[in-house]
């Protein structure tokens, strides 16, 4: 495997992701920020943050699949969440976990969450970009 996730002993351990990803590979894949659109560009989950988070992660998995990768190859994820609060973060996690269950994977890569006032199009509540490393 090209990505090993680590919980360092001298860094606070959180339940929603690992603090470190060690990578070894020959290809790096950079994904554009994924929003909750379907293949036709239609918004999925209007006003439903969990549904939008789920669709973002399903789109990430589809984008990775297109280049022969899987969510296990993810090394780093950045989340842009409109009006980030603890409650909204919980809804994001619920959607991410639904996607993980659908796909039979875990999304525990190191991540950074950034609260924003808006995204590129009206109605989008979350955008997720990612970097993967392949052998």
131: confidence class by pLDDT, cuts 50, 70, 90: very high
Q: Are 132 and 64 in contact (CB under 8 A)?
A: yes
CA atoms within 13 A of residue 111's CA, in its CB half-sphere: 22
pLDDT reported for residue 24: 86
Cβ burial, residue 60 (10 Å; 0-12/13-18/19+):
buried
pLDDT reported for residue 1: 65
pLDDT per residue as tens digits for the range 77-123: 999 999 999 999 999 999 999 999 999 999 999 999 999 999 999 99
Give the integer Cα–Cα distance in Å for 111 and 90: 15
Give the integer Cα–Cα distance in Å for 77 and 67: 17
Prediction pTM value: 0.89
Token digits of residue 92: 């994001």
User: How large is the average pLDDT for residues 9-19?
Assistant: 81
Sequence-distant (6+) residues with CB within 8 A of 117 are 82, 83
pLDDT per residue as tens digits for the range 37-90: 999 999 999 999 999 999 999 999 999 999 999 999 999 999 999 999 999 999
pLDDT per residue as tens digits for the range 28-39: 999 999 999 999
Helices 49-66 and 86-103 pack at an angle, to 10 degrees, of 40
Domains of the chain, CATH where assigned: 3-134 (3.30.1330.40)
């Amino acid at each position: 495997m090209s990505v090993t996730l680590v919980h360092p002993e001298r860094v606070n351990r959180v339940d929603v992701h690992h603090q470190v990803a060690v990578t070894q590979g020959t290809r790096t894949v950079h994904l554009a920020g994924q929003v909750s659109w379907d293949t036709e560009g239609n918004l999925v989950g209007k006003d439903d943050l969990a549904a939008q988070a789920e669709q973002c992660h399903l789109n990430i998995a589809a984008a990775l699949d297109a280049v022969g990768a899987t969510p296990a190859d993810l090394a780093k994820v950045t989340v842009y969440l409109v009006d980030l609060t603890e409650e909204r973060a919980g809804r994001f996690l619920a959607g991410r976990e639904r996607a993980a269950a659908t796909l039979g994977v875990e999304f525990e890569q190191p991540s950074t969450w950034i609260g924003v006032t808006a995204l590129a199009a009206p109605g989008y509540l979350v955008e997720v970009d990612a970097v993967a490393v392949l052998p």
